[in-house]
Amino acid sequence: MSAVGSMSSFGAGSLGRQIAALGFECQEGVYRLDGMSLEIRRGWPTLTVVRPDARADPLQGHLGRPGLWKSVAAGPLTGRRALVRRVWELPPSVLQTAWEDPAGGDGEEEPPSAFLAALSWALATVDGKAPSGWQAPPRDEVEAAIPAGSLTARQGAVLCQGSLVYTPERLALVFPVVRRIPSDLPAVRRKWLEAVIVDTQERWRLVRLGVAKMDGGSSMQAEVDLTGAPRPLLEGLTKSSLAALQCVVRWLLRTADFLVDTGVACQALESALSRDGPVEREKRG
């Protein structure tokens, strides 16, 4: 049975026992730990943390954090503040590769599953820190997993060149969707741009979006941070992440480019943003 098939529900078998060993308790088919829930959503293993008493800026302070966690607005923006839920989602295709015990095993103890390794990684990075003692694998190993041309995204005449961020302490794939958001961008355009980012963050899986400050303004970036990823999952995660980034960046490029181009007039942009709450959308990715 494939890794994905075996997790259509966690059940009470070996996998369920290993999840429980990490501290989770099963409640009506959902595993819970310290305000965190673990379940399968449309085939994707998903961890969710919701803190309804906390409001946060879903656009600032999230880029560059280790791991797959990202913040998604769980309610309408009030100014730049919103109820936020944090989510961690793993592509099911990544789990198709069988886990190989690096130590060879002695046959007396079941080796950890790929999913349990990924879940341990998620728990280690939930507070925005890299797993203790983690170091990036050899660069050539990472680069070998990057398909030719996958770091370049194009939509019409708009081109975006991504990059591999590689240091001993960090591993990430980053695309600058808008290299520079002018500091004097009109407020109405800035609000539309922020609304587009928040909507895309909620709509698409895996990819983290945000605004990063820079000299003379700011930039809009899309990234997947693989810092701390288990080595056996790294190749599959790299390929899945680049496929997701390609989709998200192409989805955003022309709209974002139009919104920051103040040389193009558009009367529709003067319309007030909708004050309605978020609507349920089908996740993409």
**What is the pLDDT tens value at each position of the chain, 285 positions in all?**
344 444 455 655 677 888 888 899 988 878 999 889 998 888 889 999 876 555 567 677 789 999 999 988 765 555 555 577 889 999 988 886 534 444 444 433 444 578 889 999 999 999 889 998 898 999 999 999 999 999 999 998 889 999 999 998 899 999 999 999 988 888 889 889 988 998 999 899 999 999 988 777 789 999 999 999 999 899 999 999 999 999 999 999 999 999 998 888 777 776 655 444 444 455 666
Distances (CA, A) of 80 to 33, 44, 55, 60, 198: 30, 30, 10, 9, 11
- Planar angle of CA 21, 27, 29, nearest 5 degrees: 90
* DSSP H helix total and E strand total for the chain: 6, 12
Using CA atoms, how far residue 245 sits from 138, 167, 239, in Å, is 23, 21, 10
Q: What tokens does 281 get? A: 């959308």
Q: Give the model's pLDDT for residue 80.
A: 55
pLDDT of residue 52: 55
For the entire predicted model, the pTM comes to 0.84
H/E run at residue 84 = strand 82-89
Instruction: Provide the pLDDT for residue 29.
Output: 78
In 149-183, which positions are buried (b, 16+ CB within 10 angstroms) versus exposed (e)? Answer: ebbebebeebebebebbeeeebbbbbbbbbeebee
Q: With beta carbons less than 8 A apart as the criterion, state whether 153 and 175 touch.
A: yes
Which residues, including other chains, have CB under 8 Å from residue 235's CB and lie 6 or more apart? Answer: 97, 144, 145
Residue-level pLDDT at 59 = 74
Element (H, E) at 120: helix 114-125
Cα distances from 154 to residues 46, 127, 245, 252, 254, in angstroms, run: 30, 34, 12, 10, 9
Quote the pLDDT of residue 103: 43
Provide the H-helix boundaries in 126-261: 139-144, 187-203, 231-260
φ, ψ for residue 138, nearest 5 deg:
-55, 140
CA distances from 121 to 129, 134, 182 (A): 11, 11, 37
CB 29 within 8 A of CB 20: no
In eight-state DSSP terms, residue 269 is G
User: Which pair of structure tokens corresponds to residue 212?
Assistant: 């990063």
Q: Could you identify the residue written with the tokens 């975006």?
A: 160
Pairwise CA distance, residues 144 & 239, whole Å = 10
